[in-house]
Amino acid sequence: MILTPKHQKMLDDLLDACRKHLPAVNEDLITKAFKFALEAHKNDLRASGEPYFSHPYDVSLIVAREFPLDDVTVVSSLLHDVVEDTDFNLELLTREFGTEVAEIVDGVTKISGLFRGQEITQAENYRKMLLSMVRDVRVILVKFADRLHNMRTLEFVNPEKQRRIASETLDIYAPFANRFGLGRVKWELEDLSFKYLNKEAYEEIAKKIKSKRKEREAYIKKFTEPIIEKLKEYSLNFDISGRPKHLYSIYRKMVRRNKPFEEIYDLFAIRIILDTPNSNDCFTTLGIVNQMYMPVADRFKDYISIPKTNNYQSIHTTVVGPEGRLVEVQIRTQKMHEVAEKGVAAHWKYKENKTASEKDMEGWVNWIRDIFENASKEDGRKDLLESFKLNLYNDEIYIFTPKGDLRRLPAKSTPVDYAFEIHSKVGYHCIGAKVNGKIVPLDTMLHSGDQVEIITSKNQHPNKNWIKFVASHKAKSEIRKWLNKEEEDIINSGKELWEKKIKKLKLSFNIQDVFKLALSLKYENQKYFYRAIAEGKVNLDEVLSATKDKDKKDRESPVLEFENFANIARNDIGGVLVEGKVDGILYSYAKCCNPIPGDPVVGYITIGEGIKIHRKTCNNLLRMSNKEGNKLIAVNWPGSDSSYFVSGVTVMGEDSPGILNEISHTIVAYQNTNIKSINISTINSTFEGSVTLYVKDIEHLNRIIDRLKKVKGVFSVERFESN
Ligand code: MN
């Protein structure tokens, strides 16, 4: 392709800009992209009536001049609208320019498409969503340049579109640019948006600034002269200037502080940029300024020692200038200034190795990630755990509700995760889903930007398979909760059947007996046994007649029986005190509730049998005392303040070598607890044991029970109880 003189000049200008600002330039590739884009867009016009090619061309100039990064970004910006607006597709781009360029162009096309037709109500989520979709940060740079150029040429589109694009820019792009440290882009985007969103206010402020310009310049000259002299004495190289105030920031201050233009604008602003690599010179300069003019105490900010999250560094101070007027002074080095204005691109420039290697790019991407992670930590909206887990936006996706709201979900989420995110009820009854208007299976993996609608049915409930594909903690735990509840209902109904049967046959089974029976029938524990009963898999009559026939001795184990234990424990502590006294009163322990040391107890006066000691919570006792009036008497276990009493626990689990050792160690390790006795017996591959030990109170006992439950292989620990 032979270029016209006009196009040849454009290409030369672009190559010049690249040579001037970029570390390395592949001129052939840029020339090829230039010609390719020129050809691709040859039939299209912009709203201004210009050939469309002027847009990607200007965008590539912005990239080369204003945030120079590398030549790949320049090539990508020349081609950024090709796939979307012309007949050329991504495959062709890949073939001609390689996957790197094609992927950037694809990214730009995708994130542009997202905004269309969506009401932007959650700007913060949008920004995160964008980031979650962008693998290569260069996509964002091209998108910024694209938006900047569209904003600069917004006058040519209709007023409705102007407003839409301007508010989108103000809501999304400007804050986004700020996060990237692209200070100058941010200001420009804001001022341009402001111009189209509130033309009157914009023009009024612009007019006033213009009319005060002479006065302002004169004052700044007066203010800076003595500083300049002093700085020269110190032989510092510097640039000092009145800082241009941005229209939108003046406007925002007027609104926020509810003050007229004059009061806001009265604040003069000076910036001193030092040509030095040494940040100490900034503090020297601060000292000079403070010597000349009195600083205002609470207006000093040192962003050099503690940079902002977007890596902004500068000293800010406010001093009282001539005529008592306040002047804001910013002091920074040239490097800090470039970072403030050009953000990521400047950071790049100051890297030691100026060629764009893979590794540099990686470092840069990590640097961006850092900014974002720290930014959201500072936001403090999420707890620490969450910010560790989820702030790498690759781990998150953003999903639109049918109304266009955004919901955040972990990566690999499915419609079921989304349903539970909306509401647990939606999750419980979710039967199907539409993703971007199409019905899909419930285990379909969602992607950022998908719009999801859930179909529910009253008769639908969570099922086991859901656990296998859901990704969010919320969905998992809700489904488990549902399944457990279902499971529990089944177990309880089995237990009820069992207990009814036992009662009918007048049999007595304690918890250990049931457990042993369950094991002998090859159930892992009594829960599975009850479950099998509920499901009709156990013939209870058969099972029970078999146990009846067995020799009683056969079921006896060397393990301590409750009766024995209770006697040991009661004797050990010396019995109960009746109304505070030890001797002379006849009492015995009620069989209905079998109180043992540590239980809150009360005495019930009987005729002929003396006092019966019951637990305070005994149901029998409550019934009797209600019927026959006050026949209760205060009793308690002695020495409950400081001394210890004997208590007992039963432990069951898988038998393994060293389990006895493990159990006793666990007990002793807690507050050096004393063990009185320990008994373990083994049946098949299972053990059961009883331990008597000295505890201070029920709390002490419960702590030990909790610890024993955590011992590997142990599946049941219970306080020794009669049953
Ligand atoms: Mn474009």
CB 49 within 8 A of CB 61: no
Listed ranges 189-203, 205-219, 250-264, 480-494; the one with the highest mean pLDDT? 189-203
Predicted confidence (pLDDT) at residue 192 exceeds the cutoff of 80: yes
Q: What is the mean pLDDT of residues 384-407?
A: 58
Q: Comparing 352-356, 526-530, 705-709, which segment has the lowest mean pLDDT?
A: 352-356
What pLDDT band is residue 107 in, cutting at 50, 70 and 90? confident
How close is the Cα of 610 to the center of ligand 1, in Å? 98
CA distance 328 to 95: 54
Predicted confidence (pLDDT) at residue 79 exceeds the cutoff of 90: yes
Which of the two residues, 684 and 261, has the higher pLDDT score?
Answer: 261
Furthest C-alpha separation in the chain = 125
Nearest of 196, 200, 172 to residue 186 by alpha carbon:
172
Q: Give how far the C-alpha of residue 287 lies from the chain's centroid of Cα atoms, to the nearest Å.
A: 43
Predicted confidence (pLDDT) at residue 501 exceeds the cutoff of 80: yes
What pLDDT band is residue 76 in, cutting at 50, 70 and 90? very high
Nearest of 286, 265, 274 to residue 219 by alpha carbon:
265
Task: Read off the pLDDT of residues 452-488 as tens digits, 9 standing for 90 and up.
Answer: 999 998 888 888 889 999 998 889 888 988 888 888 8
pLDDT of residue 554: 46
Task: Read off the pLDDT of residues 522-547 as tens digits, 9 standing for 90 and up.
Answer: 787 788 889 888 888 888 887 877 76
Query: By three-state DSSP, how is residue 669 classified?
Result: helix
Q: What is the mean pLDDT of residues 35-53?
A: 91
Q: Comparing 322-336, 550-564, 638-652, 673-687, which segment has the lowest mean pLDDT?
A: 550-564
Which of the two residues, 648 and 195, has the higher pLDDT score?
Answer: 195
How close is the Cα of 145 to the center of ligand 1, in Å? 9
What pLDDT band is residue 559 in, cutting at 50, 70 and 90? low
How close is the Cα of 112 to the center of ligand 1, in Å? 9
Task: Read off the pLDDT of residues 112-135 as tens digits, 9 standing for 90 and up.
Answer: 766 554 555 555 666 666 666 666
Q: What count of other Cβ atoms lies within 10 Å of the Cβ of residue 207?
A: 10
Task: Read off the pLDDT of residues 398-422 as tens digits, 9 standing for 90 and up.
Answer: 888 887 777 888 889 999 999 999 9
CA distance 450 to 140: 20
pLDDT of residue 194: 94
How close is the Cα of 55 to the center of ligand 1, in Å? 7
How close is the Cα of 400 to the center of ligand 1, in Å? 25
Domains of the chain with CATH codes: 5-196 (1.10.3210.10), 206-350 (3.30.460.10), 575-636 (no CATH)
How close is the Cα of 344 to the center of ligand 1, in Å? 21
Partners of residue 646 on adjacent β-strands? 694
How close is the Cα of 58 to the center of ligand 1, in Å? 10
How close is the Cα of 104 to the center of ligand 1, in Å? 13
Nearest of 423, 415, 370 to residue 393 by alpha carbon:
370
Predicted confidence (pLDDT) at residue 364 exceeds the cutoff of 60: no
How close is the Cα of 56 to the center of ligand 1, in Å? 6
How close is the Cα of 151 to the center of ligand 1, in Å? 11
Q: What is the mean pLDDT of residues 39-64?
A: 92
Q: Comparing 102-106, 367-371, 372-376, which segment has the lowest mean pLDDT?
A: 372-376
Predicted confidence (pLDDT) at residue 361 exceeds the cutoff of 50: no
Predicted confidence (pLDDT) at residue 556 exceeds the cutoff of 80: no
How close is the Cα of 158 to the center of ligand 1, in Å? 17
- The reported pTM is 0.53
- In one-letter notation, the amino acid at residue 190 is E
Residue 580: C-alpha distances to residues 229, 583, 603, 635 (Å)? 94, 10, 12, 7
How close is the Cα of 80 to the center of ligand 1, in Å? 6
Backbone angles phi, psi at 510, to 5 degrees: -95, 180
pLDDT of residue 512: 72
Q: What is the mean pLDDT of residues 278-295?
A: 90
Query: By three-state DSSP, how is residue 241 classified?
Result: strand
The per-residue pLDDT of the chain, averaged, comes to: 81
Which of the two residues, 670 and 382, has the higher pLDDT score?
Answer: 670
Query: By three-state DSSP, how is residue 648 classified?
Result: strand
How close is the Cα of 139 to the center of ligand 1, in Å? 12
The residues annotated as belonging to the active site are: 84-85
CA distance 22 to 16: 10
